[in-house]
């Protein structure tokens, strides 16, 4: 469920930046409306299929709750302060981890993008570290930082720093060389050219990085909660529920809410993208 909903989100939002300021009124709006309609139909179809599978007992061990039951339970959870506290913790820790990754990746990415020497020095190390799965570091992180916020934020930061870093470097490298020459021809110093030309050129790639990493941060945070034996957060809540009798219903409802949360966060970042990176998504007209 989480996957279906989340995978639909980028598709919906990639439609939006393409509609430049001029074409917003016409065809752009129509495709947007259609995408929303198809998305709703797809989701509805999935829910109906789910209900049928459960009602007719098509699964071997039939303890999956039905769609209607799950949705009702989800709505109930939204009024449950204990559950909401766990969700809040997950969101807060994810953003903390993402924030740490951001603060490391942006200056480092600018440096590695601008200086070829620094890039040559660091690229091998980066390529070696990047493929390591962050979740594999949970036991180590627990030993060093315990089972609380520090451990979870560290895991999230570890997983988010690479996509952010590579995107910032890519953005800096994509800066038009004529744009840089133009800045210099204004008599600007190197640092002014970086601030006024290179940095704005890299922002759209940075936002793309943020879009990728917000989803990653939530996934990693929940994962770290499961594996790291944390007492707070959505992951811990799901684990506790799954051990209770009749817990399956709560677990399924929790997963649905996690999915919706993912969609919401994605929509916020898509809004950022429209506001700050529309110029880079203009396409060739």
Scanning 61-69, 199-207, 222-230, 246-254 for contacts with other proteins by CB under 8 A, the matching segment is 199-207
Site for other proteins (CB under 8 A): how many residues?
Answer: 22
Q: According to CB under 8 A, which residues from 73 to 132 bind other proteins?
A: none
Q: Which helix (H) or strand (E) holds 90?
A: helix 81-114
Question: Is the Cβ of residue 113 or residue 259 nearer to other proteins in the bound state?
Answer: 113
Q: According to CB under 8 A, which residues from 20 to 39 bind other proteins?
A: 20-22
Map residue 78 onto helix, strand or coil. coil
> What is the chain written as a DSSP string?
-HHHHHHHHHHHHHHHHHS-TTTIIIIIHHHHHHHHHHHHHHHHHHHHHHHHHHHTT-SSS--PPPHHHHHHHHHHHTT-HHHHHHHHHHHHHHHHHHHHHHHHHHHHHHHHHH-HHHHHHHHHHHHHHTTS-GGGGHHHHHHHH-SSHHHHHHHHHHHHHHHHHHHHHHHHHTS-HHHHHHHHHTT--HHHHIIIIIHHHHHHHHHHHHHHHHHHHHHHHHHHHHHTT-SSSHHHHHHHHHTSTTHHHHHHHHHHHHHHHHHHHHHHHHHHHHHHHGGGG----
Question: Is the Cβ of residue 69 or residue 174 nearer to other proteins in the bound state?
Answer: 174
Q: Which of 3, 25, 128, 178 binds other proteins (CB under 8 A)?
A: 178
Q: At closest approach, how far in Å is the CB of 260 from other proteins?
A: 33
- The reply to whether 176 sits near other proteins by the rule CB under 8 A is yes
Scanning 34-42, 117-125, 174-182, 267-275 for contacts with other proteins by CB under 8 A, the matching segment is 174-182
Q: At closest approach, how far in Å is the CB of 171 from other proteins?
A: 12
- The reply to whether 184 sits near other proteins by the rule CB under 8 A is yes
What the block records as the tokens of 283 is 């396409």
Question: Is the Cβ of residue 25 or residue 178 nearer to other proteins in the bound state?
Answer: 178
Q: At closest approach, how far in Å is the CB of 117 from other proteins?
A: 18
Question: Is the Cβ of residue 200 or residue 247 nearer to other proteins in the bound state?
Answer: 200
- The reply to whether 196 sits near other proteins by the rule CB under 8 A is yes
* Residue carrying the six token digits 């393409």: 18
Question: Is the Cβ of residue 71 or residue 203 nearer to other proteins in the bound state?
Answer: 203
- The reply to whether 282 sits near other proteins by the rule CB under 8 A is yes
- The reply to whether 186 sits near other proteins by the rule CB under 8 A is yes
Q: Which residues bind other proteins (CB under 8 A)?
A: 20-22, 176-179, 181-182, 184-187, 196-197, 200-201, 203, 279-280, 282, 285
């Amino acid at each position: 469920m989480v996957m279906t909903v989340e995978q639909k989100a980028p598709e919906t939002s990639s439609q939006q930046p393409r509609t430049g300021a001029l074409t917003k009124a016409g065809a752009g709006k129509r495709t947007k409306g259609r995408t929303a309609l198809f998305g709703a139909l797809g989701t509805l179809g999935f829910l109906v299929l789910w209900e049928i599978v459960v009602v007719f007992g098509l699964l071997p061990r039939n303890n999956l709750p039905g769609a209607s039951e799950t949705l009702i339970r989800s709505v109930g959870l939204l009024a449950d302060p204990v559950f909401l506290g766990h969700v809040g913790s997950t969101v807060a820790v994810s953003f903390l981890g993402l924030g740490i990754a951001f603060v490391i990746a942006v200056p480092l990415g600018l440096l590695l993008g601008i200086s070829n020497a620094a890039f040559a020095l660091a690229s091998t190390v980066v390529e070696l570290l990047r493929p390591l799965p962050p979740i594999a570091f949970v036991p180590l992180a627990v030993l060093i930082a315990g089972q609380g916020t520090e451990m979870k934020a560290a895991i999230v930061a570890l997983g988010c720093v690479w996509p952010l870093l590579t995107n910032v470097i890519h953005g800096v490298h994509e800066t038009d060389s004529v744009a840089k020459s133009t800045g210099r021809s204004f008599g600007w110093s190197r640092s002014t050219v970086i601030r006024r030309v290179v940095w704005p050129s890299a922002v759209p790639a940075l936002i793309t990085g943020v879009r990728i990493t917000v989803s990653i941060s939530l996934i990693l945070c929940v994962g770290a909660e499961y594996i790291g034996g944390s007492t707070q957060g959505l992951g811990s809540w799901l684990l506790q529920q799954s051990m209770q009798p009749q817990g399956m219903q709560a677990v399924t409802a929790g997963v649905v809410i996690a999915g919706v949360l993912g969609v919401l966060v994605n929509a916020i970042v898509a809004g950022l993208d429209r506001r700050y990176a529309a110029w880079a998504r203009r396409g060739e007209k």
